[in-house]
Amino acid sequence: MAKVKTIYVCQSCGMDSPKWMGRCSSCGEWNTYQEMRVEQKTKAETKAETWQNDEKKKIRTPLTLDDITIGKTTRIDTTNAEFNRVLGGGVVPGSLILIGGNPGIGKSTLLLQICTQLKELPILYVSGEESEEQIKLRAQRISSGALPKTYIFTEVNISKILREAKKLSPRLIIIDSIQTMSSPHLESAPGTVSQIRECTADLQRFAKELNIPVLIIGHITKEGQLAGPKVLEHIVDVVLQFEGDPNYSYRLLRAQKNRFGSTDEIGIYEMRGNGLREVNNPSELFLSQSEVELSGSAIGVMLEGQRPVLVEAQALVSPAVYGNPQRSATGFDLRRMGMHLAVLEKRVGLALAQHDVFLNIAGGLKIKDPGMDLSILAAIISSLEDTIIDHHTCFAGEVGLSGEIRAVTHIGQRVKEADKLGFNKMFLSSFNLQGLNTSNLNIELIPISKLTDLYDLLF
Protein backbone atom coordinates (compact mmCIF):
# COMPACT_ATOMS: atom_id res chain seq x y z
CA MET A 1 0.00 0.00 0.00
CA ALA A 2 1.19 3.49 -0.82
CA LYS A 3 1.86 5.64 2.21
CA VAL A 4 0.10 9.01 2.34
CA LYS A 5 1.89 11.98 3.85
CA THR A 6 1.55 15.72 3.72
CA ILE A 7 4.26 18.12 2.69
CA TYR A 8 4.40 21.86 2.06
CA VAL A 9 5.32 23.02 -1.42
CA CYS A 10 6.40 26.51 -2.52
CA GLN A 11 3.99 27.62 -5.27
CA SER A 12 6.68 29.85 -6.71
CA CYS A 13 9.73 27.61 -7.13
CA GLY A 14 8.46 24.11 -6.25
CA MET A 15 10.71 23.60 -3.23
CA ASP A 16 9.15 21.27 -0.64
CA SER A 17 9.49 21.09 3.10
CA PRO A 18 7.97 18.91 5.84
CA LYS A 19 6.95 22.07 7.77
CA TRP A 20 5.19 25.26 6.76
CA MET A 21 7.48 28.25 6.24
CA GLY A 22 6.58 31.91 5.91
CA ARG A 23 9.46 32.64 3.57
CA CYS A 24 10.83 30.17 1.08
CA SER A 25 14.45 29.39 1.85
CA SER A 26 15.10 28.67 -1.81
CA CYS A 27 13.55 31.54 -3.79
CA GLY A 28 12.92 34.01 -0.97
CA GLU A 29 9.19 34.55 -1.75
CA TRP A 30 6.79 35.11 1.14
CA ASN A 31 3.61 33.14 1.90
CA THR A 32 3.97 30.72 -0.96
CA TYR A 33 3.97 27.44 0.97
CA GLN A 34 0.85 25.31 0.58
CA GLU A 35 -0.08 22.02 2.08
CA MET A 36 -0.14 19.06 -0.32
CA ARG A 37 -0.87 15.40 -0.04
CA VAL A 38 1.57 12.98 -1.60
CA GLU A 39 1.38 9.25 -1.94
CA GLN A 40 4.69 7.56 -1.38
CA LYS A 41 4.74 4.42 -3.48
CA THR A 42 6.68 1.39 -2.34
CA LYS A 43 9.48 0.16 -4.56
CA ALA A 44 7.38 -2.75 -5.78
CA GLU A 45 4.51 -0.44 -6.76
CA THR A 46 6.75 1.91 -8.70
CA LYS A 47 8.27 -0.99 -10.52
CA ALA A 48 4.87 -2.37 -11.43
CA GLU A 49 4.03 0.89 -13.12
CA THR A 50 6.95 1.06 -15.53
CA TRP A 51 6.29 0.53 -19.21
CA GLN A 52 8.10 -2.79 -19.44
CA ASN A 53 5.29 -4.43 -17.51
CA ASP A 54 2.50 -2.95 -19.62
CA GLU A 55 1.91 -6.01 -21.74
CA LYS A 56 1.26 -8.20 -18.76
CA LYS A 57 -1.51 -5.95 -17.47
CA LYS A 58 -4.50 -4.53 -19.26
CA ILE A 59 -3.33 -0.98 -19.80
CA ARG A 60 -4.79 1.79 -21.93
CA THR A 61 -3.13 2.45 -25.27
CA PRO A 62 -3.57 5.37 -27.66
CA LEU A 63 -6.58 4.98 -29.99
CA THR A 64 -7.51 6.68 -33.23
CA LEU A 65 -10.72 8.72 -33.21
CA ASP A 66 -12.33 6.11 -35.45
CA ASP A 67 -11.61 3.34 -32.97
CA ILE A 68 -13.28 5.11 -30.08
CA THR A 69 -16.83 3.94 -29.52
CA ILE A 70 -19.31 6.12 -27.73
CA GLY A 71 -21.06 4.40 -24.87
CA LYS A 72 -24.59 5.13 -23.77
CA THR A 73 -24.48 8.61 -22.24
CA THR A 74 -28.13 9.34 -21.67
CA ARG A 75 -28.43 12.56 -19.79
CA ILE A 76 -30.43 12.67 -16.59
CA ASP A 77 -33.52 14.78 -17.10
CA THR A 78 -33.95 17.06 -14.08
CA THR A 79 -37.51 17.99 -15.19
CA ASN A 80 -36.50 21.56 -14.46
CA ALA A 81 -36.61 23.00 -17.98
CA GLU A 82 -34.44 26.05 -17.24
CA PHE A 83 -31.77 23.95 -15.53
CA ASN A 84 -31.75 21.43 -18.37
CA ARG A 85 -31.44 24.22 -20.91
CA VAL A 86 -28.37 25.72 -19.24
CA LEU A 87 -26.70 22.32 -18.94
CA GLY A 88 -27.39 21.61 -22.59
CA GLY A 89 -30.17 19.07 -22.07
CA GLY A 90 -29.75 17.48 -18.65
CA VAL A 91 -27.04 16.21 -16.33
CA VAL A 92 -24.35 14.07 -17.95
CA PRO A 93 -23.62 10.98 -15.79
CA GLY A 94 -20.24 11.14 -14.11
CA SER A 95 -19.91 14.89 -14.54
CA LEU A 96 -18.86 17.41 -11.92
CA ILE A 97 -20.95 20.57 -11.87
CA LEU A 98 -19.98 23.62 -9.82
CA ILE A 99 -22.58 26.26 -8.94
CA GLY A 100 -21.35 29.60 -7.66
CA GLY A 101 -23.25 32.62 -6.42
CA ASN A 102 -23.50 35.27 -3.73
CA PRO A 103 -24.73 34.24 -0.28
CA GLY A 104 -28.50 34.13 -0.03
CA ILE A 105 -29.06 34.18 -3.78
CA GLY A 106 -30.76 30.77 -3.66
CA LYS A 107 -28.17 28.12 -4.53
CA SER A 108 -29.29 25.69 -1.82
CA THR A 109 -32.92 26.33 -2.70
CA LEU A 110 -32.32 25.63 -6.39
CA LEU A 111 -30.55 22.33 -5.78
CA LEU A 112 -33.00 21.15 -3.15
CA GLN A 113 -35.78 21.98 -5.57
CA ILE A 114 -34.08 19.87 -8.21
CA CYS A 115 -34.02 17.00 -5.68
CA THR A 116 -37.77 17.33 -5.25
CA GLN A 117 -38.35 17.34 -9.01
CA LEU A 118 -35.98 14.57 -10.06
CA LYS A 119 -37.65 11.34 -11.11
CA GLU A 120 -34.50 9.23 -10.97
CA LEU A 121 -33.82 8.26 -7.39
CA PRO A 122 -32.25 8.02 -4.87
CA ILE A 123 -30.43 11.34 -4.36
CA LEU A 124 -27.84 12.14 -1.73
CA TYR A 125 -27.88 15.74 -0.47
CA VAL A 126 -24.82 16.45 1.68
CA SER A 127 -24.90 19.63 3.70
CA GLY A 128 -22.10 21.06 5.77
CA GLU A 129 -23.96 24.29 6.38
CA GLU A 130 -27.43 23.45 7.62
CA SER A 131 -28.95 20.95 10.02
CA GLU A 132 -31.33 18.19 8.95
CA GLU A 133 -34.31 20.07 10.42
CA GLN A 134 -33.45 23.24 8.54
CA ILE A 135 -33.30 21.32 5.28
CA LYS A 136 -36.56 19.56 6.03
CA LEU A 137 -38.26 22.89 6.73
CA ARG A 138 -36.97 24.27 3.45
CA ALA A 139 -38.09 21.18 1.55
CA GLN A 140 -41.57 21.57 3.04
CA ARG A 141 -41.62 25.14 1.84
CA ILE A 142 -40.83 24.30 -1.75
CA SER A 143 -42.65 21.00 -2.14
CA SER A 144 -45.62 19.51 -0.38
CA GLY A 145 -45.06 15.97 -1.63
CA ALA A 146 -43.30 13.21 0.30
CA LEU A 147 -39.62 12.69 -0.47
CA PRO A 148 -38.78 9.22 0.79
CA LYS A 149 -35.82 8.73 -1.52
CA THR A 150 -33.90 11.95 -0.94
CA TYR A 151 -31.21 11.24 1.61
CA ILE A 152 -29.93 14.15 3.67
CA PHE A 153 -26.48 13.75 5.19
CA THR A 154 -24.97 16.46 7.38
CA GLU A 155 -21.30 15.63 7.31
CA VAL A 156 -18.12 17.45 6.33
CA ASN A 157 -15.58 14.63 6.21
CA ILE A 158 -15.19 13.82 2.53
CA SER A 159 -14.01 10.25 3.14
CA LYS A 160 -17.07 9.43 5.24
CA ILE A 161 -19.31 11.06 2.66
CA LEU A 162 -17.88 9.03 -0.19
CA ARG A 163 -18.10 5.82 1.84
CA GLU A 164 -21.82 6.41 2.47
CA ALA A 165 -22.31 7.44 -1.13
CA LYS A 166 -20.78 4.23 -2.35
CA LYS A 167 -23.16 2.19 -0.16
CA LEU A 168 -26.19 4.16 -1.28
CA SER A 169 -25.17 4.37 -4.93
CA PRO A 170 -27.40 7.37 -5.66
CA ARG A 171 -28.25 8.77 -9.10
CA LEU A 172 -27.06 12.22 -8.07
CA ILE A 173 -24.96 13.70 -5.27
CA ILE A 174 -25.24 17.29 -4.07
CA ILE A 175 -22.50 18.84 -1.96
CA ASP A 176 -23.72 21.96 -0.20
CA SER A 177 -20.66 24.01 -0.23
CA ILE A 178 -17.25 22.66 -1.03
CA GLN A 179 -15.84 25.26 1.37
CA THR A 180 -17.20 23.34 4.38
CA MET A 181 -15.80 19.95 3.30
CA SER A 182 -12.52 18.63 4.63
CA SER A 183 -10.25 15.75 3.87
CA PRO A 184 -8.88 13.80 6.85
CA HIS A 185 -5.53 13.49 5.08
CA LEU A 186 -4.82 17.21 5.40
CA GLU A 187 -4.26 19.23 8.53
CA SER A 188 -5.39 22.61 7.24
CA ALA A 189 -8.83 24.00 8.05
CA PRO A 190 -11.83 23.54 5.72
CA GLY A 191 -12.12 26.24 3.08
CA THR A 192 -8.39 26.58 2.47
CA VAL A 193 -6.94 26.18 -0.99
CA SER A 194 -5.44 22.76 -0.33
CA GLN A 195 -8.63 21.40 1.28
CA ILE A 196 -10.84 22.59 -1.57
CA ARG A 197 -8.51 21.15 -4.17
CA GLU A 198 -8.18 17.85 -2.36
CA CYS A 199 -11.92 17.39 -1.75
CA THR A 200 -12.80 18.29 -5.34
CA ALA A 201 -10.22 15.86 -6.65
CA ASP A 202 -11.70 13.11 -4.44
CA LEU A 203 -15.19 13.91 -5.70
CA GLN A 204 -13.98 13.88 -9.28
CA ARG A 205 -12.38 10.47 -8.91
CA PHE A 206 -15.57 9.14 -7.33
CA ALA A 207 -17.83 10.65 -10.00
CA LYS A 208 -15.80 9.30 -12.90
CA GLU A 209 -15.32 5.84 -11.43
CA LEU A 210 -18.94 5.22 -10.43
CA ASN A 211 -20.48 7.36 -13.18
CA ILE A 212 -22.51 9.37 -10.68
CA PRO A 213 -22.87 13.09 -11.31
CA VAL A 214 -21.97 15.47 -8.48
CA LEU A 215 -23.36 18.98 -8.08
CA ILE A 216 -21.09 21.18 -5.97
CA ILE A 217 -22.04 24.51 -4.44
CA GLY A 218 -19.19 27.02 -4.21
CA HIS A 219 -19.05 30.34 -2.40
CA ILE A 220 -18.08 33.59 -4.06
CA THR A 221 -15.51 36.04 -2.78
CA LYS A 222 -16.07 39.78 -2.38
CA GLU A 223 -14.59 40.34 -5.83
CA GLY A 224 -17.17 38.05 -7.40
CA GLN A 225 -14.74 35.21 -8.08
CA LEU A 226 -15.46 31.67 -7.05
CA ALA A 227 -13.73 31.27 -3.71
CA GLY A 228 -10.89 28.82 -3.75
CA PRO A 229 -8.25 28.18 -6.31
CA LYS A 230 -8.77 28.74 -10.00
CA VAL A 231 -7.75 25.11 -10.34
CA LEU A 232 -11.23 24.16 -9.11
CA GLU A 233 -12.73 25.58 -12.28
CA HIS A 234 -10.32 23.49 -14.32
CA ILE A 235 -11.18 20.23 -12.57
CA VAL A 236 -14.96 20.44 -12.93
CA ASP A 237 -16.83 19.89 -16.21
CA VAL A 238 -19.39 22.63 -15.83
CA VAL A 239 -19.25 25.96 -14.00
CA LEU A 240 -22.61 27.64 -13.42
CA GLN A 241 -23.19 31.08 -12.00
CA PHE A 242 -26.41 31.90 -10.14
CA GLU A 243 -26.93 35.63 -10.00
CA GLY A 244 -29.51 38.32 -9.49
CA ASP A 245 -30.16 41.68 -7.92
CA PRO A 246 -31.16 41.24 -4.25
CA ASN A 247 -33.77 43.99 -4.71
CA TYR A 248 -35.58 42.05 -7.41
CA SER A 249 -36.95 38.56 -7.33
CA TYR A 250 -35.68 37.21 -10.63
CA ARG A 251 -32.51 35.10 -10.78
CA LEU A 252 -30.34 34.18 -13.76
CA LEU A 253 -28.46 30.91 -14.14
CA ARG A 254 -25.56 31.13 -16.59
CA ALA A 255 -22.95 28.64 -17.74
CA GLN A 256 -19.41 30.02 -17.60
CA LYS A 257 -17.89 26.79 -18.76
CA ASN A 258 -19.64 23.74 -20.14
CA ARG A 259 -17.88 20.72 -21.57
CA PHE A 260 -21.17 19.26 -22.76
CA GLY A 261 -23.03 22.22 -24.19
CA SER A 262 -23.10 25.86 -25.13
CA THR A 263 -22.33 28.65 -22.67
CA ASP A 264 -24.80 30.98 -24.35
CA GLU A 265 -27.92 29.56 -22.76
CA ILE A 266 -29.36 31.13 -19.64
CA GLY A 267 -32.04 29.99 -17.25
CA ILE A 268 -34.41 32.47 -15.64
CA TYR A 269 -36.17 31.95 -12.31
CA GLU A 270 -38.30 33.99 -10.00
CA MET A 271 -37.80 33.58 -6.24
CA ARG A 272 -41.15 33.15 -4.57
CA GLY A 273 -42.33 32.33 -1.06
CA ASN A 274 -42.53 28.68 -2.10
CA GLY A 275 -39.29 28.29 -3.98
CA LEU A 276 -38.06 29.20 -7.44
CA ARG A 277 -40.52 29.47 -10.29
CA GLU A 278 -39.25 28.77 -13.80
CA VAL A 279 -39.83 31.76 -16.07
CA ASN A 280 -40.68 30.65 -19.59
CA ASN A 281 -41.49 34.10 -20.91
CA PRO A 282 -38.78 36.41 -19.54
CA SER A 283 -40.22 39.53 -21.17
CA GLU A 284 -43.05 39.57 -18.61
CA LEU A 285 -40.50 40.53 -15.94
CA PHE A 286 -38.89 43.42 -17.74
CA LEU A 287 -41.75 45.21 -19.46
CA SER A 288 -43.31 48.15 -17.72
CA GLN A 289 -46.12 47.48 -15.32
CA SER A 290 -47.84 50.83 -15.95
CA GLU A 291 -51.26 50.94 -17.61
CA VAL A 292 -51.05 54.43 -19.08
CA GLU A 293 -48.64 55.17 -21.89
CA LEU A 294 -46.18 57.94 -21.11
CA SER A 295 -43.47 59.68 -23.04
CA GLY A 296 -39.86 58.69 -22.47
CA SER A 297 -40.27 54.96 -22.71
CA ALA A 298 -39.37 52.61 -25.54
CA ILE A 299 -39.15 48.84 -25.77
CA GLY A 300 -36.06 47.16 -27.14
CA VAL A 301 -35.46 43.55 -28.10
CA MET A 302 -32.22 42.42 -26.54
CA LEU A 303 -30.48 39.10 -26.37
CA GLU A 304 -29.68 37.52 -23.02
CA GLY A 305 -27.49 34.56 -23.87
CA GLN A 306 -29.37 32.99 -26.77
CA ARG A 307 -32.79 34.19 -25.66
CA PRO A 308 -34.51 37.27 -26.98
CA VAL A 309 -36.02 39.36 -24.17
CA LEU A 310 -38.14 42.48 -24.53
CA VAL A 311 -36.99 45.17 -22.16
CA GLU A 312 -38.26 48.67 -21.50
CA ALA A 313 -35.85 51.61 -21.56
CA GLN A 314 -37.03 54.69 -19.68
CA ALA A 315 -35.56 58.16 -20.09
CA LEU A 316 -36.25 61.46 -18.42
CA VAL A 317 -34.94 64.59 -20.15
CA SER A 318 -35.60 67.92 -18.48
CA PRO A 319 -34.02 71.38 -18.69
CA ALA A 320 -31.01 71.66 -16.39
CA VAL A 321 -31.69 73.91 -13.40
CA TYR A 322 -28.14 74.07 -12.11
CA GLY A 323 -25.05 74.92 -14.10
CA ASN A 324 -23.82 71.48 -15.05
CA PRO A 325 -26.46 69.22 -16.59
CA GLN A 326 -26.76 65.88 -14.80
CA ARG A 327 -26.37 62.53 -16.48
CA SER A 328 -27.23 59.33 -14.76
CA ALA A 329 -27.85 55.79 -15.98
CA THR A 330 -29.13 52.72 -14.14
CA GLY A 331 -28.52 49.38 -15.80
CA PHE A 332 -26.64 50.94 -18.71
CA ASP A 333 -23.06 52.12 -19.22
CA LEU A 334 -22.91 55.85 -18.48
CA ARG A 335 -20.12 56.48 -20.98
CA ARG A 336 -22.09 54.81 -23.75
CA MET A 337 -25.08 56.99 -22.89
CA GLY A 338 -22.82 60.05 -23.12
CA MET A 339 -21.78 58.91 -26.57
CA HIS A 340 -25.39 58.50 -27.66
CA LEU A 341 -26.23 62.00 -26.44
CA ALA A 342 -23.34 63.43 -28.44
CA VAL A 343 -24.54 61.57 -31.54
CA LEU A 344 -28.06 62.95 -31.09
CA GLU A 345 -26.68 66.44 -30.67
CA LYS A 346 -24.41 66.33 -33.68
CA ARG A 347 -26.30 64.12 -36.17
CA VAL A 348 -29.93 64.94 -35.39
CA GLY A 349 -29.34 68.46 -34.10
CA LEU A 350 -31.13 68.05 -30.76
CA ALA A 351 -30.09 70.52 -28.05
CA LEU A 352 -29.34 68.10 -25.22
CA ALA A 353 -26.39 69.99 -23.73
CA GLN A 354 -28.73 72.10 -21.60
CA HIS A 355 -30.75 69.14 -20.33
CA ASP A 356 -30.47 66.71 -17.46
CA VAL A 357 -30.73 63.15 -18.76
CA PHE A 358 -31.70 60.17 -16.59
CA LEU A 359 -31.86 56.68 -18.00
CA ASN A 360 -33.28 53.56 -16.39
CA ILE A 361 -33.71 50.00 -17.55
CA ALA A 362 -36.92 48.55 -16.11
CA GLY A 363 -36.71 45.48 -13.91
CA GLY A 364 -33.16 46.08 -12.65
CA LEU A 365 -31.51 44.46 -15.66
CA LYS A 366 -27.97 45.39 -16.69
CA ILE A 367 -27.68 45.87 -20.44
CA LYS A 368 -24.62 44.77 -22.36
CA ASP A 369 -26.21 44.06 -25.74
CA PRO A 370 -25.63 46.97 -28.18
CA GLY A 371 -28.91 45.98 -29.87
CA MET A 372 -30.67 48.02 -27.18
CA ASP A 373 -29.11 51.28 -28.46
CA LEU A 374 -31.98 52.15 -30.75
CA SER A 375 -34.61 51.82 -28.02
CA ILE A 376 -32.52 53.91 -25.64
CA LEU A 377 -32.18 56.73 -28.18
CA ALA A 378 -35.90 56.50 -28.98
CA ALA A 379 -36.72 56.82 -25.27
CA ILE A 380 -34.46 59.87 -24.93
CA ILE A 381 -35.98 61.60 -27.97
CA SER A 382 -39.48 60.67 -26.81
CA SER A 383 -38.88 62.34 -23.46
CA LEU A 384 -37.25 65.41 -24.98
CA GLU A 385 -40.11 65.90 -27.44
CA ASP A 386 -42.72 64.75 -24.91
CA THR A 387 -44.21 62.42 -27.50
CA ILE A 388 -45.53 59.00 -26.63
CA ILE A 389 -44.19 55.94 -28.46
CA ASP A 390 -46.91 53.36 -28.92
CA HIS A 391 -46.36 50.39 -26.59
CA HIS A 392 -46.83 47.94 -29.42
CA THR A 393 -43.71 49.24 -31.14
CA CYS A 394 -40.27 47.86 -30.42
CA PHE A 395 -36.68 48.49 -31.53
CA ALA A 396 -33.51 46.52 -32.27
CA GLY A 397 -30.38 48.15 -33.64
CA GLU A 398 -26.93 49.34 -32.75
CA VAL A 399 -26.17 53.03 -33.21
CA GLY A 400 -22.78 54.07 -34.58
CA LEU A 401 -20.90 57.33 -34.12
CA SER A 402 -22.02 58.80 -37.43
CA GLY A 403 -25.65 58.16 -36.56
CA GLU A 404 -25.92 55.05 -38.71
CA ILE A 405 -28.09 52.14 -37.57
CA ARG A 406 -26.02 48.96 -37.61
CA ALA A 407 -27.22 45.38 -37.89
CA VAL A 408 -27.56 43.22 -34.77
CA THR A 409 -27.02 39.48 -34.32
CA HIS A 410 -29.81 36.86 -34.26
CA ILE A 411 -32.34 39.20 -35.79
CA GLY A 412 -34.62 36.31 -36.78
CA GLN A 413 -35.06 35.24 -33.16
CA ARG A 414 -35.64 38.81 -32.01
CA VAL A 415 -38.32 39.44 -34.64
CA LYS A 416 -40.04 36.16 -33.85
CA GLU A 417 -40.15 36.91 -30.13
CA ALA A 418 -41.59 40.40 -30.68
CA ASP A 419 -44.18 38.96 -33.06
CA LYS A 420 -45.10 36.24 -30.58
CA LEU A 421 -45.66 38.79 -27.83
CA GLY A 422 -48.10 40.73 -29.97
CA PHE A 423 -46.04 43.75 -31.01
CA ASN A 424 -47.17 45.22 -34.30
CA LYS A 425 -44.23 47.41 -35.36
CA MET A 426 -40.50 46.88 -35.11
CA PHE A 427 -37.77 49.31 -36.13
CA LEU A 428 -34.54 47.66 -37.24
CA SER A 429 -31.46 48.27 -39.33
CA SER A 430 -32.05 48.03 -43.08
CA PHE A 431 -29.01 45.73 -43.25
CA ASN A 432 -30.80 43.28 -40.98
CA LEU A 433 -33.80 43.07 -43.29
CA GLN A 434 -31.75 41.56 -46.11
CA GLY A 435 -32.21 37.83 -46.21
CA LEU A 436 -34.71 37.81 -43.35
CA ASN A 437 -37.59 35.39 -43.75
CA THR A 438 -40.68 37.53 -43.19
CA SER A 439 -43.35 35.01 -44.13
CA ASN A 440 -45.79 34.00 -41.36
CA LEU A 441 -45.15 37.26 -39.51
CA ASN A 442 -47.87 39.65 -38.43
CA ILE A 443 -45.44 42.29 -37.22
CA GLU A 444 -44.62 45.20 -39.54
CA LEU A 445 -40.85 45.61 -39.96
CA ILE A 446 -39.62 49.18 -40.53
CA PRO A 447 -36.05 49.29 -41.86
CA ILE A 448 -34.03 52.43 -41.11
CA SER A 449 -30.43 53.25 -41.91
CA LYS A 450 -29.88 56.61 -40.18
CA LEU A 451 -30.88 58.13 -36.86
CA THR A 452 -32.60 60.99 -38.71
CA ASP A 453 -34.92 58.39 -40.32
CA LEU A 454 -36.01 57.30 -36.86
CA TYR A 455 -36.64 60.89 -35.86
CA ASP A 456 -38.67 61.64 -39.00
CA LEU A 457 -40.73 58.47 -38.78
CA LEU A 458 -41.54 58.66 -35.08
CA PHE A 459 -41.82 62.31 -34.17
The binding site for Mg ion (CB under 5 A) comprises 108
Of 4-12, 14-22, 272-280, 349-357, the segment contacting ligand TYD by CB under 6 A is 272-280
Q: Is 277 one of the binding residues for ligand TYD (CB under 6 A)? A: no
Q: Taking a C-beta distance cutoff of 8 angstroms, is the pair 196, 179 a contact?
A: yes
Distance separating alpha carbons of residues 285 and 244, to the nearest angstrom = 13
Q: Give the residue with the Cβ less far from ligand TYD, 271 or 316.
A: 271
CB of 126 to ligand TYD, least distance (A): 14
CB of 216 to ligand TYD, least distance (A): 13
Question: Choosing among Mg ion, ligand TYD, none, which partner's interface includes residue 273 (Cβ < 5 to 8 Å by kind)?
Answer: ligand TYD
Q: Is 215 one of the binding residues for ligand TYD (CB under 6 A)? A: no
Sheet of 16-17: strands edge to edge?
Answer: 16-17, 3-10, 33-40
CB of 88 to ligand TYD, least distance (A): 23
CA 416 to chain centre: 25
Q: Give the residue with the Cβ less far from ligand TYD, 130 or 404.
A: 130
Q: Is 241 one of the binding residues for ligand TYD (CB under 6 A)? A: no
Q: Give the residue with the Cβ less far from ligand TYD, 109 or 393.
A: 109
Question: Choosing among ligand TYD, Mg ion, none, which partner's interface includes residue 392 (Cβ < 5 to 8 Å by kind)?
Answer: none
Question: Choosing among ligand TYD, Mg ion, none, which partner's interface includes residue 104 (Cβ < 5 to 8 Å by kind)?
Answer: ligand TYD
Q: Give the residue with the Cβ less far from ligand TYD, 271 or 365.
A: 271
Q: Is 106 one of the binding residues for ligand TYD (CB under 6 A)? A: yes
Which member of 105, 239, 443, 448 binds ligand TYD (CB under 6 A)?
A: 105
Q: Is 104 one of the binding residues for ligand TYD (CB under 6 A)? A: yes
Indicate the pairing of strand 33-40 with strand 3-10. antiparallel
Q: Is 244 one of the binding residues for ligand TYD (CB under 6 A)? A: no
Q: Give the residue with the Cβ less far from ligand TYD, 95 or 109.
A: 109
CA 368 to chain centre: 15
Q: Is 251 one of the binding residues for ligand TYD (CB under 6 A)? A: no
Nearest alpha-carbon partner for 84 in 303, 238, 286: 238
Of 5-13, 104-112, 250-258, 407-415, the segment contacting ligand TYD by CB under 6 A is 104-112
Q: Give the residue with the Cβ less far from ligand TYD, 103 or 145.
A: 103
Indicate the pairing of strand 327-330 with strand 275-278. unpaired
CB of 110 to ligand TYD, least distance (A): 7
CB of 117 to ligand TYD, least distance (A): 14
Q: Is 103 one of the binding residues for ligand TYD (CB under 6 A)? A: yes
Q: Is 227 one of the binding residues for ligand TYD (CB under 6 A)? A: no
How many residues line the site for ligand TYD (CB under 6 A)? 16
Q: Is 86 one of the binding residues for ligand TYD (CB under 6 A)? A: no
Q: Scan residues 138-197 and list those touching ligand TYD (CB under 6 A).
A: 138, 141-142
Contacting positions for ligand TYD (CB under 6 A): 101, 103-109, 138, 141-142, 271-275
